[in-house]
Amino acid sequence: MTPSEAPVGRLVVCPTPIGNLEDVTLRVLSALGQADAVACEDTRRTRVLLDRHGISARLISFHEHNERARAAELVATIAAGEVVALVSDAGTPLVSDPGFALVHACLAAGLPVEVLPGPSAVVTALVASGLPTERWRFVGFLPRARRELQELLDRTSETLIAFESPHRLPGTLALLAERDPDRPVAVCRELSKLHEEVRRGSAGELAAYYAVSPPRGEVVLVCGAAATELVEREDALAALRELIGSGAKARPAAAVVAKLTGLKANELYRELMREGQ
């Protein structure tokens, strides 16, 4: 066999159901059935899906702890002519799930990468939220540090979508309510599963509800755009931090930023001091 006749494999990225196993597409089932190997985040969970649809396949463990090392092995496998299907535990691989290192390595090696459409908790939550869909931003899991979280939430000028753990959700909603109690929010829980729930309301209303009714299961939080004054204030604070980081004193810097933005210098200074506590 000449080099030009050598078989060329490919990577097929296969979205899997986010809950209900019936949500898998016919193309994904076909790809999984025809693949020489299936790289999966958790072989046990993937086996449940394959057994449900009568598919037998060679499974290869591929998760966040072995992703880089295993990516090199899989690239060699694909280059040798095999077809590898990539799945995560739920939804579309690479979207807050392992897979980027493998896709990047395949593209760098000039190997074909085929991406199939399918389930995504991000898009499902966005549509279910009832919030504007023209401009939106997905940020993955929300930051744990209060200052980083506040800055992210306050500077969002479009619909924001994030994954949040159920035990942290009440605190995040409380912060949203503290900054803007009327901000529209949707909490999408256990999407496509038996106990699916989409609760919509203002930040104040949902903060009060979940303070006494802690959620369970997987949560996607969808927030409407921040009020214009919050975005302006956070931009001003960011400029103030930059000035101080360059060596300026806090009060004079606050006065300069206030003059440029029309905000009050004392309020900017107090907010900055609260951040440092």
* Greater model confidence, 51 or 239: 51
Q: What is the pLDDT of residue 3?
A: 47
Order of all β-strands in the sheet with 159-164: 136-141, 159-164, 219-223, 184-189, 197-202
Looking at residue 151, its pLDDT comes to 85
The span from the CA of 206 to the CA of 202, in Å, is 6
User: How much is the pTM?
Assistant: 0.79
- Dihedral sign for Cα atoms in the order 99, 30, 18, 120: positive
Higher-confidence residue of 147 and 43: namely 43
More confident residue, 176 or 7: 176
Three-class DSSP category at 144: coil
Rounded Cα gap, residues 109 and 113, in angstroms: 11
Q: What is the pLDDT of residues 173-193, one digit of tens each?
A: 999 999 899 999 999 999 999
Residue pair 219/164 in contact by the 8 Å Cβ criterion? yes
Show me where the domains of the chain are located.
3-115, 121-226, 229-275
Task: Match 């104040």 to its residue by tokens.
Answer: 204
Residue 168 has pLDDT above 60, yes or no: yes
Q: Which two tokens stand for residue 84?
A: 């590898």
CA 227 to the chain's CA centroid: 23
The dotted CATH code for 3-115 is: 3.40.1010.10
Percent of the chain whose pLDDT exceeds 70: 92
Q: Residue 5: pLDDT band by 50, 70, 90 thresholds?
A: low
CA distance to 187, 229, 244, per residue, from 234 (Å):
24, 9, 15
CATH 3.30.950.10, applies to 121-226: yes
Residue with tokens 């997905």: 138
Given this model, what pLDDT does residue 133 score? 96
Q: Are 23 and 192 in contact (CB under 8 A)?
A: yes
For residue 8, the Cα-to-chain-centroid distance in whole angstroms is: 33
248 or 33: which carries more pLDDT confidence?
Answer: 33
